[in-house]
Amino acid sequence: MPAAESASGPHRGRRQVRQSEKLHDVLYDIRGPVNARAQQMEAAGHHVLKLNIGNPQTFGFEAPDSIVADMIAALPVSQGYSDARGIVSARRAVVQRYELEEGFPHVDVDDVWLGNGVSELIQIALQALLDDGDEVLIPSPDYPLWTAATKLAGGVPRHYRCDESSGWEPDLEHLASQVTDRTRAIVVINPNNPTGAVYSAEVLDGVAEVARRHDLVLMSDEIYDRVLYDDAVHVPTATRAPDLLTLTFSGLSKAYRVCGYRAGWVVVSDPGGVAQDYEHGINLLASMRLCPNVPAQHAIQVALGGHQSIHDLVLPGGRLREQRDAAVTALRAIPGVTVAEPRGALYVFPRLDPDVYPVRDDEQLALDLLLAQRILLTQGTGFNWPHPDHLRIVTLPRAAELTDAIARLGVFLSTYAQ
């Protein structure tokens, strides 16, 4: 009988393999348990309207032809590794993009790292910065990857409030109160996911002043910086902090509708020259992943030059603008539901009046909605909002489909009770 087997069978008495303890408090509910149930329903033949993930291609948005053509043309020379930071032509295009931003600190190609999406670069930046127990100030609500990546890097996320009554801009007084002697960085998500807020220069000045006062790193997630509605103007955080170490994250996923290409970048502006050792750490981790996806790097230069097709989608009459308007109108027609109109990004974050809808468990609400209406969305607590009174809805379906889906949400809520 083989040594690994026993009389009772080959697996009797073997130790169960369990996930690492550092994953126990890590959540990413956008693709969490409710999403898993939706996948089971789809496998059983049910159609599910997925309003949980900002994936433009799913709803008929296609990449500009020039981006696809340049990637295809570059395939024959994309078979080997690139520089760990990324190919020079793509990094140069990123530098030139920010040269057009008034007040953006001077950077060159060695201050740019390309990544397999912004998500990878967020993890690298936090791992290179944090020692165990170091704290990062993250907005609430947040894009939950920031909280998860902070925990995985051994850090402690501390959430500062954003104020719904002020269009979801950060509460600067609460932000300042969260600083301790272990705080290392402040995260800014602008335009914001999940709320669609676009921050004013004055608010960004206030955030920068907190960072300046306590010698903190600024990390600014600006992936939606060209998805703007009405008169909204995006102000890069680095332009309001010309004397501070600032990391600016962005990429092609949303504005250019190529989420699957995984083409992102981080620009490190270090006017004070204080980050040489930190940048060595970033470069070490970037080298360990060998290099970013090489074909996708060839999409960056062509994407950042020439006609910016995203503008046609967000202007009056543009598809994204119409869908934002349709979602807001439909939500405001539901009794007990309010929503701060998004000024950017691809989401709405409506509030359910607790006096009308006394929800105790908003994940259960999302699951019940899925089972009743075949609509998948994400509960507000999945974005580190402390109360079970919000939902995030993706505004990518066509206006008529979105209006119908939100009307069905209203019907569901009219009789829902926990």
Domain boundaries, the chain: 21-61+312-414, 65-304
List pLDDT tens digits, range 46-102.
Answer: 999 999 999 998 898 988 888 999 888 989 989 899 999 999 999 999 999 999 999
Q: State percent of the chain over pLDDT 90.
A: 83
- Mean pLDDT of the region 366-370: 96
Roughly what angle, to the nearest 10 degrees, separates helices 88-99 and 294-304? 30
Closest CA to 93 of 75, 66, 112: 112
pLDDT band at 9; cut points 50, 70, 90? low
3-state secondary structure of 338: strand
**221 pLDDT exceeds 80?**
yes
Instruction: Please name the amino acid found at residue 319.
Output: R
State the pLDDT at residue 50: 94
Q: At what angle do helices 294-304 and 65-74 cross, to 10 degrees?
A: 140
Is residue 13 scored above 80 in pLDDT?
A: no
Closest CA to 84 of 299, 296, 283: 283
193 has a pLDDT exceeding 80: yes
Q: Above 80 in pLDDT, residue 3?
A: no
How many other β-carbons are positioned within 10 Å of the β-carbon of residue 74? Answer: 18
Distances (CA, A) of 162 to 16, 172, 228: 42, 9, 19
Angle at 236 between CA 233 and CA 238, to 5 degrees: 155
**More reliable by pLDDT, 197 or 418:** 197
| Cβ atoms < 10 Å from Cβ of 233 | 10
Q: Is pLDDT at 32 greater than 90 in this prediction?
A: no
pLDDT-derived band of residue 230, with 50, 70 and 90 as boundaries? very high
Instruction: Give dist(CA 161, CA 91) in Å, integer.
Output: 35
| The pLDDT of residue 140 is above 60 | yes
CATH annotation of 65-304: 3.40.640.10
Q: Out of 5-19, 73-87, 229-243, which region has the weakest mean confidence (pLDDT)?
A: 5-19
Q: How confident is the model at residue 215 (pLDDT cuts 50, 70, 90)?
A: very high
Residue 6: pLDDT above 90? no
What is the distance between the terminal CA atoms of the chain, rounded to a whole angstrom? 56
pLDDT for 10: 60
d(CA 90, CA 48): 38
Q: Count how many residues are written for the chain.
A: 418
Classify 49 as helix, strand or coil.
strand
Q: Check: CATH 3.90.1150.10 for 21-61+312-414?
A: yes
Task: Average the pLDDT over 159-186 and give the result.
Answer: 97
Average pLDDT, the chain: 93
The reported pTM is: 0.92
pLDDT(324) > 90: yes
Same topology, domains 21-61+312-414 and 65-304? Answer is no
